[in-house]
Chain A
Amino acid sequence: MNAAVEIDNVSKRFRLYHEKYASLKERVVHAGHVPYEEFWALRNVSAEIPAGHTVGILGRNGSGKSTLLKCVAGILQPTEGKVVVRGQLAAMLELGAGFQPELSGRDNVYLNGSLLGFSRREIAKRFDAIVEFAELDQFIDNQVKYYSSGMYVRLGFAVAVNVEPDVLLVDEVLAVGDERFQQKCLDRVAQFQRDGRTIIVVSHAPDTLRRICEEILVIDHGEVVTLANPGEAIRAFRERMIGSGMQAPEPIEVDPETGPVPVVESARRVRLTETTIEYPGSGERPYLVSGEPLTVRVGLEVNEPLSGGQLSITVLNERNDVVFAELLDAATGGVQLDKGLGSAAFIFDAVTLLDGRFVVNIDVRDAGGVVLDVSEPATYFEVMNPGRATGIVALPMRLEVTPP
């Protein structure tokens, strides 16, 4: 047996009480018929996590990923099934959980360490390393209540990672402290990986997991979607998200009377009607994989012929950074628009973007640059990243190693 963590057919049922009767009187009054709904947060989840692997648990909010982590940690007991953990386990579900504000940092290190299940001797041996890692040398004998929130989580993290567990559970808390400390935490995680310790990280951010995990377990509605390498797992995760309609591009409703807001030019010489996204190379998939072509089509209602018109397209990522923008103006020949209903297509041969949802904004201007109409609200397209690369752009690259 070399699995560090064996999750064997685990199910967890929660009871959602419509009203919580916790007092004796209420219990007596409502004896026997307390209304509740059963809710299965986890259903028959099985997975084996080999020793020395870093595995991510990915799922959107409410998918049951944290419940699973708590079952592994032993904080919740599964309703059915069991979890077997081999070796000393430390769970970082909340940094500094159980810190006593009245006690000094030193006392809290010991208390927190023993809460995590480590002996006094083990903690004493690593005490200096913990303090050094948390960068709290001068403050370690101060009461924790005088600590800043940054110092607080730093100390919590330092205890959890320096007592050297065999299995480390992390719940989206890697982003603590300033950037430098975050780097230190990531370095420590890398060190753990090199030491052959087992790490389980829970997150709803695919990119965090892609960076550090060897495998990702995707959970949705309490059920395992897949346990696969990060590329495939994240793709499955995104497919689930789109399949459930969470991020599907919304069709733009255009009021025939007023047109899309805002009205830029009252004369309405040209109007942009519906914008549609096409994925020519994706078959049935409602998204494209990095490198595949994309077509953005916009309907044009030309009320007055326009020569030398300009069309502009802007692509923004989820953080509203402009990843691409181009104005097709006189320098590129301009556009000749005749009266009537037409359309224009922006054809991208290869979209070399990594993951994410991208917003497309289009506007139309006359020869003098006056904006005639804007395609709003915006429309979206989705890109999947099957590989392990992270970042913004999928730069085509290959590695050649020359043997010595």
Chain B
Amino acid sequence: MATVSDTSSSAVAEEPGHPEPGSVARLSFEARPPLQARTVSARVSLRTRLREIVGARELLVFLVRKELKVKYKGSVLGLLWSMLNPAVTLLVYYVVFKYFLKASAPSFALYLFSGMIVWNFFLTALIGAASTIVANAGIVKKVSFPREILALAQIGTSGMFFLFQSVVLVIFLVGFQYTPAWGWMPLIPFALVDLLLFTSALAIFLSAVNVYLRDIEHLVAVLLNAWFWGVPIIYSFNQVYGHKSLHWLGELYLFDPMTVIILTFQRAIYGKVSYRTYDAATHTFKTTVWLANYPYHFYLFMLGCVLVASVLLLLGAMLVFGRIEGNFAEEL
């Protein structure tokens, strides 16, 4: 018995060591690509990390799909809810600002909405990402995969909601026969790339740090609330920038990537840099500057700066993530 099993095991042992290149191919059944070596150690280069993340893109898709499916499981309307909600919000804005609050800017609801969808994306992505690794402790402790994917999945999920809201926005633009600033539309993809990179950088950083400092997920909610009011969404950029004593603050605003991105969206979708109001008492027209009144190339320049900053932040976030990721499984 012993001799029989010994010979069979030694045959297995020797074959892979055979010098012929074909002998290893026995393992790569069904014409799989040659076996890739993967190294597990305390220091993994940024390039390897990026390669692993790209390699796990299908997982990202599955995770996003899972989030959406779980969220609307059992509901009849399902994904329609994610469009119904912003549609109702937009309708309410429309009614409230047109008839009750009497906003001075025309089509104020659209102005609000064009900034709001960007912010909503940013907000839900970061809130989700901050707690995602802790929430997925079960798989982080038991399965090996690039953990950044968990944070990116939150971005992907928020991205899907962003898409649905965009569809609602387009429907309303068509419904109200509102003409966006077509000439500025080419800036939108640029702004979207900026938004994705900037959000990814923060999301990856926050998801990692929250493992060690559970305050982060609560802190993020508070900070984002404050940040929201520091970005011209409800009010306009020029209400700060054009203000006599707040001019400096307006300039400071331009250092905020979110402001730059949102200004671009407002400029392209809402498009009204200024509007005129008729003063019945003096029988004169008054011109109010509303959006950031910068030329096209300056927007381009700002978006370029945000791009550079976001890429640097993203690399930094990945470095931090990689540095502390090794202990996730023990900390959770």
Q: Which residues of A contact B (CB under 8 A)?
A: 2, 14, 22-25, 27, 50-53, 70-89, 91, 93-94, 97-98, 100, 102-103, 107, 110-111, 114-117, 119-120, 143, 164, 166, 193, 195-197, 214, 387-388, 397, 399, 401
Contact = CB atoms under 8 A, between A and B. Distances in A.
A110 B141 CA distance: 20
Contacts of A399: 1-4
Interface stretch (B22-30, B171-179, B229-237, B285-293): B22-30
B282 interface: no
Contacts of B249: none
Given A22-B213, A27-B213, A78-B41, A397 B143 contact: no
Given A2-B17, A27-B213, 4 more contacts: A107-B69, A111-B63, A195-B29, A401-B4
Nearest to B55: A117
Contact of B138 (A14, A25, A78, A98): A98
A219 to B, nearest CB: 17
A115 B59 contact: yes
Contacts of A89: 38, 144
Given A76-B326, A98-B142, A195-B29, A103 B69 contact: yes
A54 to B, nearest CB: 9
B16 to A, nearest CB: 4
A328 B5 CA distance: 43
A119 B33 CA distance: 13
A164 B17 CA distance: 22
Please indicate which of the listed interface residues A53, A72, A114, A143 has the most CB atoms of chain B within 10 Å of its own CB: A114
A190 to B, nearest CB: 11
Given A76-B326, A77-B41, A399-B4, A97 B143 contact: yes
Given A193-B12, A388-B5, A14 B330 contact: yes
A19 to B, nearest CB: 14
Nearest to A74: B144
Contacts of B17: 2, 50
Given A2-B24, A102-B73, A74 B12 contact: no
A166 B59 contact: no
A97 B213 contact: no
A55 to B, nearest CB: 11
B256 interface: no
B4 to A, nearest CB: 7
B251 interface: no
A197 to B, nearest CB: 7
Contact of A97 (B4, B27, B70, B139): B139
B114 to A, nearest CB: 34
Given A52-B15, A77-B325, A91 B41 contact: no
Nearest to A11: B42
Contact of B66 (A51, A75, A103, A397): A103
A355 B145 CA distance: 40
Majority secondary structure, A binding face: loop
A79 B330 CA distance: 13
Contacts of A115: 59, 139, 143, 145
Contacts of B37: 84-86
Contacts of A98: 136, 138-139, 142-143
Contacts of B212: 22
B309 interface: no
A215 to B, nearest CB: 9
Contacts of B80: none
Given A103-B70, A115-B139, A388-B5, A73 B41 contact: no
Given A24-B215, A76-B329, A111-B66, A196 B26 contact: yes
B70 A100 contact: yes
Contacts of B27: 51-52, 87, 166, 196-197
A9 B64 CA distance: 39
5 contacts: A24-B215, A75-B141, A111-B62, A116-B143, A397-B1
A22 B143 CA distance: 24
Interface of B: 1-5, 9, 12-13, 15-17, 24, 26-29, 32, 35-42, 44, 56, 58-59, 62-63, 65-66, 69-70, 73, 136, 138-145, 212-215, 219, 325-327, 329-330
Which 8 pairs across A and B sit closest by C-beta, in order of nearness? Answer: A77-B326, A82-B41, A74-B144, A97-B142, A98-B139, A87-B35, A24-B215, A51-B16
Contacts of B38: 74, 84-86, 89
Contact of B2 (A27, A119, A214, A387): A387
B144 A91 contact: yes
A195 B12 CA distance: 9
B17 to A, nearest CB: 5
A59 B101 CA distance: 73
Given A22-B214, A196-B27, A70 B329 contact: yes
B16 A71 contact: no
A197 B29 CA distance: 10
Contact of B58 (A22, A114, A197): A114
Nearest to A388: B2
Contacts of A24: 213, 215, 219
Nearest to A81: B41
A360 B326 CA distance: 50
B15 A196 contact: yes
Given A23-B213, A97-B138, A197-B27, A214 B13 contact: yes
Contacts of A100: 66, 70
B58 A120 contact: yes
B13 A50 contact: yes
Nearest to B41: A82
B204 to A, nearest CB: 17
Nearest to B65: A107
Contacts of A143: 73
A143 B73 CA distance: 10
Given A85-B37, A87-B36, A120-B58, A50 B16 contact: yes
A27 B17 CA distance: 53
A176 B219 CA distance: 43
B1 A214 contact: no
A94 B142 contact: yes
B157 to A, nearest CB: 14
B8 to A, nearest CB: 9
A72 B140 CA distance: 15
